[in-house]
Structure 1
Amino acid sequence: MPRVIFFLPTISGYMDRVNLLMEASDQIEHMTLIVGSLDRPVDCSNHQNFEMIEIGFKRRMRPLNMWKSSRIAQNILREQDADVVHDTMGMLYPLFRKKNDYPQVRFVTSFFILFGWRLSHVWNKYNTFRLLTASSTAMMYPNRWLERRMAQLADHVVLQAPGLIDHLASDVPSTRNKTHVITNNVNAEFWTPSPQQVSNGQLNLLFVGGVDHSKGFFVLLDTMAELRNRGVDAVLNVVGKPNSIAAKQIQESIQRLSLEDTVRFQGRVHREELREIYRSADIFVYQTVNDGSPRVVLEALACELPVIGSTHPGIEVLDSEKRFIAFSDFGDVKIIVEHVIDFLRNREGWRQRAILGRKTIETEFTSRAVAQQYADFYTAIVSNKIRSNNSGRTD
């Protein structure tokens, strides 16, 4: 059975993935998680094949952190041996450059956000100077360069939805024949429905995530204005902060549409508080052209919350038969409004769809279910049942 080294930057930001890795460790010989910062405690006492090693990241010192991450992974390869090195965020790039020194090791990388796709299809309406000088987008060009290099060097690439393969291949064509799909996961034991139904007179719509045009936020503002025009008493609760490029335009749009009392912003919250926010909402609305497979949609579904989502590959993969997510094309205010009106007319029907969404999460997208996919994948690539078409060149 394979021995795996996996990288994550923190614990607190990736708790559900940590749970997945612990579950996966039960199906393989050993899993070593090297983590930039052990910023919250983790009980792994029930997973004997799992261990964590803290790297000790320094803030705003990415090159140093990359070197430290690679050095620790390299020491593990020398002292304990491993069959698979699985990178995220490109932090093991220095080690990947030396992959030819380890011919028996399979080098894997995962991309949760595709920066090449973002720049060519999402942020292309902004000029390069503006993107480079805005704090929220300044790292996109370096990240795209790193993404390309990691995609070229890796033996295998993991994405979270089939439709994302074309997105990556449009920027790095060589990845098409070495890319694999393993869906996102969620801890369904933590993200659970409210024990009792909460209802109030005002319709509570919820958005969670980055706030900019790529997440359809201006679409949601137009949706709220149209709902008001149709006599719907609704509020939009937003858990997230506008980025530096969008902040001024968002404020101007809210004022222009007279939505000051309708749109309510909250900053970053702890996951326990976020769970209560999901539980108190009526509908989760999420539009995106920018994500991999957004975990917030999984969290909302696990909390048995009705979801209106855009036809993005990372959302469609969660409900390919369109049984419980209400879909709209990105930016289609009319369809989103009609979904909301239908919810008001048929709350019981939407509740049943939400229950089905929760059941689907429990069977297909829990940490345990997706962990089995990872364990099977690692076993297959180590046993050469899945071969890479990568040339192995590191120049």
Structure 2
Amino acid sequence: MEPNKQGIRLLFYLPNIRSYKDRVLMLNEVAKCVEKATLIVSRKDQDEEELGEDFQLEIYEVPCSHMMNLLPLRVSNFVKILIKKDSYNVVHDTFGHLFPLLIKRRSYKSCIFVTSQYQLAEWDWKNVLLPQYGLVKSLTNVNLRHYLYRIFLQRLAFTHAEHIVLQAPGLITRLEKYMPDCVKKSVFIPNSTSYFIKSDASSDVSDRRISEIRLLCGSGALSFGKGGDELLSLIREVKRREINISVVILGGIAPLDRRYFHEQIHQSNINSNIRMVGRVSHEEMLKYYKNSDWLFNFTALDGSPRTALEAIACGLPVIGSSHPGVEIIDPEKQFILFMDGQVEQVIDEMVACKKDPRRYERRVAIGVSYVRDNFSSLSVSNQYVNFYHSILNRK
């Protein structure tokens, strides 16, 4: 029986629209099912008209000041005004940006406060970054040191929020190691995607007549945490087998790891197989999906790999890692090609798919169907609406 959703008055925060467009479109589906839904952004970098004819989600912008440290305070103060004005009963924070409000949540007895985190900064810091870079570099490099601020924000948000939304069950398991008291108030709701191939999967995938394997690495700048060593190992083994391969790396190489990977590429004599491309627009990204055979998304850090989800939905199969955020997309391992040290087996499958297009098309079709059923904006929005309804009923 469909629950009564009319009592939900939601106020949701995201940093901007363009980088989180999938979530914005998902929230628009939520807005169709609740009494009121409002999105607060720090940068309104896309107009509602660009988001579709049926877009009805209300959006307010709280511009960033030059002092970014003041952003949480500015946004929280604005949210306070809206709570009093429009009687919202669910306030949903992301990344801990509303921590000044979360700390004082008991002053707003009519509201339930929720936080979403797409990565677990403390787990990443202790299990990936510190072992890779060491304590000195982790504390002196500005990008790595920023993780300490993120850990601080997450701990504040997790402690003071009444409910926590994470994107994979495995992330809840990881949270238990550092903040076990927060597990009981944590729930799993996956990320969503709004981009799907518009025709039959077999007619929309990349050209199978091309003899070389075309690999796209598009999950952000290449680094140790984004599978840099694993990618080079894959290319070396493909070259050793005398198989043609071309690799496009979107976003280039992360500055901290640039020297190491440039040296490795040069020493392995694979320069001619790799093309570095800077940041691209989302429209350009879709073209790269269309003209590639596989997306390489081997991550140890990204808790919610939107690129992998989007690529599968667009008909591009993924080579991935056994990270909770990736595993949740394909729990039965039917269409993602999980690598995790199995380089030769991965190459065998890539070659088999090149020789037999029907094998490739089956993998594509299974992936598109599963993602459409479980990760579309409509599917995930229903999970959020039911979640909000359940926490209001328990209040």
TM range (shorter): over 0.9
- Between Structure 1 and Structure 2, how many residues are aligned? 382
TM-score (structure 1 length as normaliser): 0.92
1:272/1:173 Cα in 2 relative to 1: closer, same or farther (>3 Å)? same
**In 2, Cα distance between the equivalents of 1:154 and 1:96?**
6
Give runs of aligned pairs for residues 97-116 of structure 1, distance below 5 A: 97-116=103-122
Structure 1: segments with no counterpart, 5+ residues: 388-395
1:204/1:189 Cα in 2 relative to 1: closer, same or farther (>3 Å)? closer
CA contact (8 A) 2:8 2:35 kept: yes
**Partner of residue 309, structure 2:** 298
**Partner of residue 365, structure 2:** 355
CA contact (8 A) 1:191 1:302 kept: no
1:162/1:186 Cα in 2 relative to 1: closer, same or farther (>3 Å)? same
Q: Decide which of 47, 60, 66 is 1:53's aligned counterpart.
A: 60
1:227 corresponds to 2:227: no
**In 1, Cα distance between the equivalents of 2:96 and 2:243?**
46
Can you list the C-alpha shifts for 1:226-252, whole angstroms capped at 9, x where unaligned?
A: 100001100111112322221111111
- Equivalent pairs: percent with the same residue? 32
**Partner of residue 391, structure 1:** none
Can you list the C-alpha shifts for 1:240-289, whole angstroms capped at 9, x where unaligned?
A: 23222211111111011111111111111000000000010011122112
CA contact (8 A) 1:37 1:54 kept: yes
**Partner of residue 390, structure 1:** none
**In 2, Cα distance between the equivalents of 1:190 and 1:229?**
35
**In 2, Cα distance between the equivalents of 1:214 and 1:29?**
42
CA contact (8 A) 1:161 1:317 kept: yes
SS of the counterpart of 1:322?
coil
Amino acid at match of 2:108: Y
1:272 corresponds to 2:295: no
**In 2, Cα distance between the equivalents of 1:256 and 1:332?**
23
**In 2, Cα distance between the equivalents of 1:335 and 1:102?**
56
Q: Decide which of 135, 149, 153 is 1:142's aligned counterpart.
A: 149
**In 2, Cα distance between the equivalents of 1:42 and 1:169?**
39
**In 1, Cα distance between the equivalents of 2:55 and 2:281?**
26
Give runs of aligned pairs for residues 300-319 of structure 1, distance below 5 A: 300-319=311-330
**Partner of residue 388, structure 2:** 378
1:155 corresponds to 2:165: no
**Partner of residue 119, structure 1:** 125
Moved more, 265-274 or 194-203: 194-203
Q: Decide which of 204, 207, 220 is 1:198's aligned counterpart.
A: 207
- In the TM superposition, structure 1's runs of 4+ consecutive aligned residues that sit over 3 Å from their partners are 189-197
CA contact (8 A) 2:122 2:151 kept: yes
SS of the counterpart of 1:53?
strand
Shift of 1:87: 0.5
1:370/1:58 Cα in 2 relative to 1: closer, same or farther (>3 Å)? same
**Partner of residue 67, structure 1:** 73
**In 2, Cα distance between the equivalents of 1:191 and 1:198?**
17
Shift of 1:316: 1.3
Cα RMSD after superposing both structures: 1.8
Amino acid at match of 1:368: L
1:182/1:285 Cα in 2 relative to 1: closer, same or farther (>3 Å)? same
Moved more, 185-194 or 287-296: 185-194
Structure 2: segments with no counterpart, 5+ residues: 1-6
**In 2, Cα distance between the equivalents of 1:26 and 1:197?**
36
Q: Decide which of 84, 89, 107 is 2:90's aligned counterpart.
A: 84
SS of the counterpart of 1:180?
strand
Amino acid at match of 1:100: R
CA contact (8 A) 2:103 2:160 kept: yes
**In 1, Cα distance between the equivalents of 2:185 and 2:205?**
47
1:342 corresponds to 2:352: yes
**Partner of residue 182, structure 1:** 189
Can you list the C-alpha shifts for 1:286-311, whole angstroms capped at 9, x where unaligned?
A: 21121212011111101111222111
Give runs of aligned pairs for residues 201-216 of structure 1, distance below 5 A: 201-210=211-220, 211-216=222-227
TM-score (structure 2 length as normaliser): 0.92
**In 1, Cα distance between the equivalents of 2:111 and 2:205?**
50
Amino acid at match of 1:198: D
CA contact (8 A) 2:197 2:314 kept: no
**In 2, Cα distance between the equivalents of 1:371 and 1:170?**
29
